[in-house]
Structure 1
């Protein structure tokens, strides 16, 4: 069985009916605030894309997508999306979105290689968003500005939840703390990357870690990233590389850091070539998406994903993501969760 955290003396604040009401209100309220903060319009997104086009998100490069043949297209293969990181950028071009504006969508995915537990499910639901930027916006200062706007929407949503359910007290700090992954490594040299995330999130309550995907001073990566969407190698603040990052909060129920969002300024041509070369993936330049990027057919952009079920789980103080979303769980996990007052939907 995958690793399961069983919080001591855990009792849900809300019953099943209240939980479903809370999920509905959170999703409606947050997406309106996100749209307003970043000037995004809602678009319809695909559940699957054609295989071999370079459109699907490769995540860390090792996860297997769910695929199936399409009978009416000569059994050509389609893949269920992992996320819409690349698809969104093409959609910005298709809709001819102007700089300073963007799109968001409900993304639903299947990730069969996830290790199931309190925070990970086979089913992934998130708000995927993307916004057109100008060349002068490709810097850490602009990244922080966008992240701060998203965090403001998160804080407002938490207060809305408190107004609905007064037993759930707000816990997010007013300000988000920023730190580069290399500075974080130096601050906690004896911890691994997840231990460092726990330590910094517990200290500040909410933190954005900059520079995810590139190698740090010890030759290791803080975490993996596909080399063809986030720009994690361009030199930014303090001479450190990285124009992307993860937003984490301290989860008081689980007593650990929880990532709610991953986002970044996307690769331009130079960053794409550099990162593909570093990863030995230059063959991707022959794929459809990469050819469009190299031919200047795609706009410069910033984008990311915000976990819907994780956000609801955090706001409603749930101990398991299965208390928020319907999915498949091992029988022994479902039974053990029930014994610890974590009834899985």
Structure 2
């Protein structure tokens, strides 16, 4: 069976009808508040892009995209997007969005290599956002400033849920804690990366782990990150690197850390070249997206993705992402979930 965690004595706090209403409440409020807080314009996003353009996000570099031939293009391959990390940055340029403003969109993806579990589905839905920044904002302090803004939107959304469903009590701490992946390794040297995240999230309630993708002191990465969108190699102190990270919260239902967002300051042309060399994929410089960036045709930016179903799952205290979104699951997982009051839609 795919990985499945059954919370002890689980009782859903909302029935199916209430859940659907609550999902709309969370999504409507959050995207409106996020747009206002970061000054983002909503744009329409593609479901697929042409293969070989360099636009699709390759995540950790191992996940296979869903691809299909396009008859009108002489059977050239198109790919369902993994995310829109690079596409959004091009749109900042094409829409001529000014510094201090940005865009967001509804991103829908299919990730066939996901290992199905309480939190991982073949279907991915998130808000992808990108904001035009100045050279002076290409700093760790600005990254933290934006993270705090997003976290405030999350807290306000949690309160809206509480106002409508008073039995769902707010649990997010007042402030989010920042920690670098190297500090996390130093703090918990005998734990795996996932165990470190669990420990720090349980201790603080909400954390932002900085430096995802950079090599740490023991020669390994905390987690993989593609070399051509986030800047994970710029030194931010003597020993630490990275202008990106993940927002993690403690999930009391699943008794583990819970990633709600991945984000970061995007690579400058210089950092792109550096990171492509580190990852031994300098050939990407010949792709359309990379050429535009190296030719200084794209603005400096910060951006990320915020999981829609993940956010709803957390705020509504659900045990399985399948209680929020409609996807496909192994028959034995459905049966075991049903036997434990976890109703997959």
Shared fold, TM over 0.5: yes
Scaled by the length of structure 2, what TM-score is found? Answer: 0.99
> Aligned Cα RMSD in Å?
0.6
Which residue is equivalent to 2:334? 334
Give the Cα–Cα distance (whole angstroms) in 2 for the partners of residues 333 and 275 of structure 1: 40
Secondary structure of the residue aligned to 1:52 is coil
Secondary structure of the residue aligned to 1:184 is helix
Aligned 1:281-296 pairs, distance under 5 A: 281-296=281-296
The Cα shift of 1:238 comes to 5.4
Aligned 1:297-316 pairs, distance under 5 A: 297-316=297-316
The Cα shift of 1:74 comes to 1.0
Q: Say whether 1:129 aligns with 2:124.
A: no
Query: Once the two structures are superposed, what CA deviation does each residue of 1:196-222 show, in whole Å capped at 9, x if it has no partner?
Result: 000000000000000000100000100
1:140–1:237 contact (8 Å) kept in structure 2: no
Secondary structure of the residue aligned to 1:166 is coil
Give the Cα–Cα distance (whole angstroms) in 2 for the partners of residues 107 and 285 of structure 1: 26
Aligned 1:93-242 pairs, distance under 5 A: 93-237=93-237, 239-242=239-242
Secondary structure of the residue aligned to 1:129 is strand
Which residue is equivalent to 2:47? 47
Give the Cα–Cα distance (whole angstroms) in 2 for the partners of residues 42 and 284 of structure 1: 29
The Cα shift of 1:76 comes to 1.1
Runs of 5+ consecutive residues of structure 1 not aligned to the other structure:
none
Give the Cα–Cα distance (whole angstroms) in 2 for the partners of residues 310 and 246 of structure 1: 13
Structure 1 residues 140 and 238: CA distance shift in structure 2, 3 A: farther
Give the Cα–Cα distance (whole angstroms) in 2 for the partners of residues 16 and 153 of structure 1: 26
Which residue is equivalent to 1:86? 86
Query: Once the two structures are superposed, what CA deviation does each residue of 1:116-146 show, in whole Å capped at 9, x if it has no partner?
Result: 0100000000000000001111110000000
The Cα shift of 1:90 comes to 0.3
1:85–1:304 contact (8 Å) kept in structure 2: yes
Query: Once the two structures are superposed, what CA deviation does each residue of 1:243-264 show, in whole Å capped at 9, x if it has no partner?
Result: 0000000000000000000000
Runs of 4+ in 1 over 3 A off after TM superposition: none
The Cα shift of 1:296 comes to 0.5
Give the Cα–Cα distance (whole angstroms) in 1 for the partners of residues 55 and 261 of structure 2: 21
User: When the two structures are aligned, how many residues end up with a matched partner?
Assistant: 345
The Cα shift of 1:269 comes to 1.0
The Cα shift of 1:239 comes to 4.3
Which residue is equivalent to 1:5? 5
